[in-house]
Amino acid sequence: MRISSRGRGEEGRERITLVPENVDDLWHLSHVLESGDLVSGDTTRRIQRDDDQMRDTGGQREHMNVTISVGDVEFARFANRLRVGGEIVGSSREDQLGHHHTLNVEEHDEVTIEKHFKPDQKKRIEEAEEAAENPDVVIATVEEGAAYIHTVAQYGTEERFSFTAPTGKGEYARPRSELFAELGKALARMDVDAIILAGPGFTKQDARDYIAENHRDLVEKMTVVDTSGVGDRGVHEVLKRGAVDEVQTQTRISKEADLIDDLMEGIATGEKVSYGIEEVAEAADFGAVETLLVLDERLREERQGAGEWDVDVNEVIQTVERQGGEVAVFSSEFDPGRQLKNLGGIAAILRYRLQ
């Protein structure tokens, strides 16, 4: 995320002009924007024309700058765009005021946001700005007969490659070199700054040696890590052990993996944790919350009035922050976020156990 300028708008609102530089940034913005916010940007819009000289043909698209009062927000992950819909309240063409329009924000589009930013929303944008300096990372996990590649993004991890084939002896067995060759070719096609190669036993080291011989440029980017599993399980182990943090400064998802493990361990042992909105709100009132865990998807629903909680989540967050607690907003796209969703979308690691 690149922030171009900051300023003040009307009614005490803060104005930030920024440029999302990748799909992660678009995802962050989808959890910052709320109903009633003002978003400005360049767009095209179909203009109806009907006069004596020209029959109405359904309109022609014209370039213009619009300001939208946000009504709905959709992160179109696979289209690499953010759709922001709402009423046009400002436009380079006054005859378009009051009409509904959808602003399609893509990578490298400059937009201006004017709103009353909540502390966690400003923190999210600032972290996205810092993350622009982090290298792109993939995690490759390999064992006998199977290899997987996952990309690491701020909204979670995603499997991008898998190859399975029996190796060793037997009618259908294939040479190990075929597995390593497929893995090496897939990694060579990916434009990344760092590769973490993980898995159980000696297979990963043999894979590294094969890749070093056939793709020398990849070895300089590669770090080898021991894990007991491959695929999603292996990726979780890599994140939990902090291997990604060695090439990325405290990634969002590795922190979430640590926190959810601490939470689940506390639930299993009956230690200093709480989950569910009523229980967490009570813990916050007692000043017992050390770290608040809240799901971004649920947080947005509650703030937009579409949720089901009887407690104001903003008050809970403010109470925790006033008392020196930390607030971690989890991604709903990553496994720790899905675990948190199953616990009601909100939980807390406590300073002391509540009776």
Q: Which of 289, 297, 293, 294 has the alpha carbon at shortest distance from 350?
A: 289
Q: What's the start-to-end Cα distance of the chain, in Å?
A: 44
Confidence grade of residue 191 (pLDDT, cut at 50, 70, 90):
confident
Q: Are 275 and 346 in contact (CB under 8 A)?
A: yes
**Would the pTM count as exceeding 0.95?**
no
pLDDT above 90 for 263: yes
pLDDT of residue 80: 79
Question: What integer pLDDT is reported at residue 237 of this predicted model?
Answer: 93
CA 289 from chain center: how many Å?
Answer: 25
The more confidently predicted of residues 220 and 13 is 13
Contact between 337 and 160 (Cβ < 8 Å): no
Q: How distant is the alpha carbon of residue 354 from its chain centre? A: 33
HEC string for 191-236: CCCEEEEEECCCHHHHHHHHHHHHCHHHHCCEEEEECCCCHHHHHH
Judge contact between 258 and 236, C-beta under 8 A: no
Q: How far apart are CA 321 and CA 315, in angstroms?
A: 10
- For 157-181, the pLDDT digits (tens) are 889 999 887 665 555 556 788 899 9
Confidence at residue 46, expressed as pLDDT on a 0 to 100 scale:
82
Residues 183 and 214: beta-carbon distance below 8 Å: no
Phi/psi of residue 236, nearest 5 degrees: -60, -40
Q: Evaluate the CA torsion angle 181, 186, 187, 191 in order and state its sign.
A: positive
Kindly give the residue spans of alpha helices, DSSP state H, lying in 241-312: 252-269, 277-285, 296-303
Q: What would the mean pLDDT of 7-36 be, rounded to a whole number?
A: 91
Listed residue (191, 59, 80) closest to 136, CA to CA:
191
Taking only the tens place, the pLDDT of each residue in 84-94 is 999 999 998 88
Look up residue 89 and give its amino acid.
V
